[in-house]
A and B are shown apart, each in its own frame.
Chain A
């Protein structure tokens, strides 16, 4: 009965490869997010979807492409992986996209690019 789940938990791959991270929430929330946490623990928002519609698209290389097949799922596809993409990627969800809603984070996916 995990609220926000991500797969895989660990991902080790080589430069130039393409990989995907999947996220699912069973909270019935309308809004989902992708965050990147770098080696210094800095947490930065990348994307947000509300009811399958992209509402936040930060300055992220276009090698990163989110996709929301339905409001319970938000996947992240990364093309042509680079060393600098190594980080922990967190998916999160909230009841809605406005201010003041608690964001529930998943356990994270540690991506290591070699």
Chain B
């Protein structure tokens, strides 16, 4: 009940394309779902987060879609740019966050 499954493991997208990363969780008690972005040699940084009472949240080019009944949520990066190339982690939890296994995104110029 404590796992967060993330896919794909890696993703290559052309500049201007849409990057989609998916996550699934098991514990229905989880009430906070953040996405973190990590560049090589740096610590993860919060990108965007959502609560289960909304189905979608958008911040600039980044959108979280949330499906409570399916226990799934996804990150969409619109108009992907080479500067978006990084590892992305979903997480889920309450007072403690369980992280997904990460998706290495590469955006080709």
Contact = CB atoms under 8 A, between A and B. Distances in A.
Contact of B101 (A42, A92, A100, A102): A42
Interface residues of B, number: 24
Nearest to A55: B95
Most buried by A among B36, B45, B89, B99: B99
Contacts of A43: 44, 89, 99, 102
Contact of A99 (B36, B42, B89, B94): B94
B87 A4 contact: no
A31 B34 CA distance: 18
Contacts of A106: 43
A107 B46 CA distance: 14
Contacts of B93: 99
Contacts of A4: 43
B51 interface: yes
Interface of A: 4, 40-45, 48, 55-56, 90, 92, 97-100, 102-108
